[in-house]
Amino acid sequence: MSPKTLEIPEATSRKSDLVIVYHRQPYEEVEADDGTIRLRENSSPNGIVPTLRSFFGEVEHGAWIAWKQAEDAANPGFDRRIEIDDDFGCYTVSRLPLTPEQVRGFYHVTSKEAFWPILHSFRERYNYDPVDWPNFQEVNRAFAEAAASEAAEGAVVWVHDYNLWLVPGYLRKLRPDVKISFFHHTPFPSADLFNVLPWRREIVESLLACDIVGFHIPRYASNFVQVAHSLFDVSRTGRVTVDEALINEGTALTERSMVTGLIHDGHEVTIAATPVGVDVAYIDTCAHSIETRNQMAAIRDELGEAQLVLSVGRTDYTKGGVQQLESYERLLESRPDLRGKVRLMHVSVSANRNMEAYAEIQSEIEQVAGRINGRFGRFDWQPVVLISRAVPFDELIAYYRAADVAWITPIADGMNLVCKEFVASRVEGDGVLVLSEFAGAAVELDAAIPTNPFSHRNMDMAIAQALEMNIEERTTRMSRLRAKIDACDIRFWGDAQRRLFEGAANGDNGTPKCTLAHRRKGDIGAGARDGARPELAVVDGR
């Protein structure tokens, strides 16, 4: 769909039954021909944003708390509160003005240089020396104060991700009446790693002020329970056997049971594991479109008889881009028969151009790709096509459909939606997914070829197996993969959050199960009004 300008009614002082606290604004800001700034629907949003907005269709009025950069926070030059009335519902957007210095300290330094490496188990990249902890506290306190101001009596306040870790603790003191839910979109490490953070007690104490703390998979939930036990006198209130849909025998992140509740200072916290999915119905529509079919045919014509291996991710040391390219180089070196018969399309989109760590990774990726093309390339064949720009989603769907293999090999990843987008796009029922066992999605997608990016031999064998797999095995595996992502799509995740909210209100800490029986059929964008169709991410943001 083409982006449309949002209608902005006059601001009101209405209180909200649901307050979503997220670092991103729920729309794009564009400059019109007359120089004014207008708001419009996201043209290529992160897949979670439209799903979150869909919840506003189920309450009389909602609120969204985000930040927006301003040179002068006291005089930001923009309205701090605006009202939105769109296909998803009526809601206030409260924009917190943060100066460039605050943004850098809060997000680029504390979140990305201190928290991010620890969350993904890269202790060697951890650096807390430049952290301005008072700045991080100040920004989180501002988010909490904005949420407290917007929330109606007994409202649900839903906080998202690690850069807002301190919001629940501040909010609980301001508004003891509200229900607080927190969802992690990243991995959560073991106590040995997490407790490297010198602010560990303040962070975990804040999370224990929540009514619900949610994670993608049981392993991350279990790690959080372990961390809480290491720092505080907490007691467990329940344990469940992990549903079979989240058990993949032999993979690194499988967990067989998990604690479902903790009590700290008399306050009970529900612990939940609910994997985020993709909008399978929307991807299916895109995959069947005439434009996608035509583009797919053009891609295949250009490839000739060569097999296409597709890798999509962000430029981040957690994504394993360099290790994957080195595996491809070893494959071409040891298998001369594959030269000219396979091509790797490696999409590595810059995560943050202003951060040295990511610039270094991008440079290394470019060097290895250039070396491979220099060593093995011919006038009529280029082994690697490296793309460093964001690819429009409809174009990416065409490549998903045209590829023979999706090669998704992060070293650590909270979930990874790219592999699920690939499976959803394979409407013909063919294709192979090679997936790192350190991606959260690996516990669900047991019909993928698992691979260990820490092992050269394992990586090389997995991609060779994928390229040589016969059609019977390919279709059997893909059928199982499609059943999994169809059952636990983005609507299932949204429904699971609704059940958790209801359970917290009723004192029930049961975690929703991801099984085929729970598949929900209905309009795309569950909860959206008028059948609004949200768009998905070009590249998974987690």
Q: If you write DSSP's letter for every residue of 141-169 in order, what string do you get?
A: HHHHHHHHHHEEEEEEEEEESGGGTTHHH
**Percent of the chain at pLDDT above 70?**
89
pLDDT of residue 219: 98
Name the residue range of residue 330's domain.
280-487
Averaged over 385-398, what is the pLDDT?
93
Per-residue pLDDT, 354: 65
Residue 458: inside a domain, yes or no?
Answer: yes
The pLDDT tens digits of the residues spanning 102-151 come to 999 999 999 999 999 999 999 999 998 999 999 999 999 999 999 999 99
**Strand, helix or coil at 91?**
strand
pLDDT, residue 510, reads 53
| pLDDT confidence tier of residue 8, bands split at 50, 70 and 90 | very low
Mean pLDDT of 389-402: 94
Given a cut of 70, whether residue 442 has pLDDT beyond it is yes
pLDDT at 47: 64
Q: What is the pLDDT of residue 527?
A: 39
Query: For the segment 480-531, what is each residue's pLDDT rounded down to a tens digit?
Result: 999 999 999 999 999 999 999 998 767 665 555 544 333 333 333 333 433 3
Q: What is the pLDDT of residue 318?
A: 96
User: To which residue do tokens 């603790």 refer?
Assistant: 169
Alpha helices in 40-99 (DSSP H): 48-54
Read off the pLDDT of each residue in 414-438 and give the average, rounded to a whole number. 97
Please, which pLDDT band fits residue 540 given cuts at 50, 70 and 90?
Answer: very low
**Cα 465 to Cα 482: distance, rounded to the nearest angstrom:** 20
> What phi, psi does 182 have (nearest 5°)?
-130, 130
Write phi, then psi, for 427 (nearest 5 degrees). -70, -20
Q: What is the mean pLDDT of residues 10-20?
A: 80
d(CA 225, CA 259): 7
Residue pLDDT, tens place only, 156-204: 999 999 999 999 999 999 999 999 999 999 999 999 999 999 999 999 9
Tokens at 140, concatenated:
């989180």
Can you give the CATH number for the domain in which 374 is found? 3.40.50.2000
SS3 28: strand
Residue 42 has pLDDT above 70, yes or no: no
- When pLDDT is averaged across residues 245-267 and rounded to a whole number, the result is 95
Least confident range of 15-29, 310-324, 432-446, 474-488: 15-29
pLDDT at 520: 36
Phi, psi of 211 (to 5 degrees): -90, -30
Decide if pLDDT at 390 tops 70: yes
Answer whether residue 443 is part of any domain.
Answer: yes
Which of 369, 368, 309 minimizes the C-alpha distance to 338? Answer: 309
Whether residue 482 lies inside any domain: the answer is yes
Q: Give mean pLDDT, residues 30-59.
A: 74
Would 257 be classed as within a structural domain?
A: no
Residue 367: pLDDT over 80: yes
pLDDT at position 251 over 80: yes
On the question of pLDDT at 231 being above 60, the answer is: yes
Among 289-298, 417-426, 441-450, 524-533, the range scoring the smallest mean pLDDT is 524-533
Confidence of residue 28 (pLDDT cuts 50, 70, 90): confident
Counted domains in the chain = 1
Q: How many CA atoms lie within 13 A of 254 on its CB side?
A: 17
φ, ψ for residue 276, nearest 5 deg: -70, 140
Count CA atoms within 13 Å of residue 303 on its CB side: 24
Question: 406 in a domain, yes or no?
Answer: yes
User: Is 335 inside any structural domain?
Assistant: yes
Summary mean pLDDT of the chain: 89
Amino acid at site 321: G
Whether 364 is covered by a domain: the verdict is yes
Q: Is there a domain that residue 214 lies in?
A: no
